[in-house]
Structure 1
Amino acid sequence: MEVVITALGPDNVGLADPIIHHVTGRGARIAEIQMYDHDEAHLFAMICRIDIPTAEYEPLVDAMRQIGDHTRLAIRVWSSQRRPGRKPRLAICGTFVEHTPRAMLEAIADGTIDGEAAVLISNRKKLAGLAAEFDVPYRMIGNEQGAADDAKMVQALDDFDVDYVVLARYMRVLPPSTCWQFAGGRIVNLHHGLLPGFPGFRPYHDAYAARMLTFGATCHFIIPELDAGNQTINQRTFSVSPGTPIDDIIARGERENEPECLVEGVRRVIDREVDLHFHRVVARTTKRSD
Structure 2
Amino acid sequence: MQVIITAVGPDHRGLADPIVHYVATAGANIYEIQMYDHDSERLFAMLVRIEWPDDEEPVAILRERMTEIGRLKGLSVRVWARNEHSRPPRLAICTTYRPEPALAILRDIRDGRLKADPAVMIGNRNACRGLAEQFGIDFHNVGDDRGTPDNRRMAELFDEYDVDYIVLARYMRILPPRICWEFAGGRIINLHHGLLPSFPGFRPYQDAYTRHMLTYGATIHFIVPELDAGEQIIHQSTFDVFPGTPLEEIIRLGESDHEPRCLAEGLRRVVDREVELHFHRVVRVQR
TM-score normalised according to structure 2 size: 0.97
Aligned residue runs from structure 1 range 48-197, under 5 A: 48-55=48-55, 56=57, 57-84=59-86, 86-197=87-198
Q: How many residues align?
A: 285
> 1:32, 1:48 within 8 Å by CA — same for their partners in 2?
yes
Shift of 1:90: 0.3
The one-letter code matched in structure 2 to 1:284 is V
Shift of 1:54: 2.4
CA distance in 2, matches of 1:154, 1:227: 21
> 1:33, 1:47 within 8 Å by CA — same for their partners in 2?
yes
Tell me which residue corresponds to 1:5: 5
CA distance in 2, matches of 1:228, 1:264: 20
CA distance in 1, matches of 2:198, 2:229: 15
> 1:229, 1:280 within 8 Å by CA — same for their partners in 2?
no
Shift of 1:107: 1.0
CA distance in 1, matches of 2:260, 2:44: 36
Provide the secondary structure at the position in 1 that maps to 2:166.
Answer: strand
Tell me which residue corresponds to 1:240: 241
CA distance in 2, matches of 1:163, 1:46: 19
The one-letter code matched in structure 1 to 2:67 is R
Runs of 4+ in 1 over 6 A off after TM superposition: none
Aligned residue runs from structure 1 range 252-267, under 5 A: 252-267=253-268
Provide the secondary structure at the position in 2 that maps to 1:219.
Answer: strand
> 2:270, 2:276 within 8 Å by CA — same for their partners in 1?
yes
CA distance in 2, matches of 1:169, 1:40: 29
CA distance in 2, matches of 1:82, 1:48: 17
> 1:47, 1:183 within 8 Å by CA — same for their partners in 2?
yes
Provide the secondary structure at the position in 2 that maps to 1:106.
Answer: helix
TM-score normalised according to structure 1 size: 0.96
The one-letter code matched in structure 2 to 1:46 is M
> 1:31, 1:50 within 8 Å by CA — same for their partners in 2?
yes
The one-letter code matched in structure 2 to 1:68 is G
CA distance in 2, matches of 1:277, 1:75: 19
The one-letter code matched in structure 2 to 1:27 is G
Tell me which residue corresponds to 2:35: 35
Tell me which residue corresponds to 2:285: 284
RMSD: 1.0
Superposed CA offset, 1:245-276 (max 9, x none):
11111111011110111111000001110010
CA distance in 1, matches of 2:83, 2:133: 30
CA distance in 2, matches of 1:225, 1:252: 28
CA distance in 2, matches of 1:107, 1:227: 26
Tell me which residue corresponds to 1:215: 216
CA distance in 1, matches of 2:200, 2:238: 15
Task: Label 1:93 to 1:227 Cα distance change in 2 as closer, same or farther (>3 A).
Answer: closer
CA distance in 2, matches of 1:212, 1:111: 36
Superposed CA offset, 1:70-112 (max 9, x none):
001000000110102x100000011001111111111111111
CA distance in 1, matches of 2:90, 2:171: 18
Q: For structure 2, which runs of at least 5 residues remain unmatched after alignment?
A: none
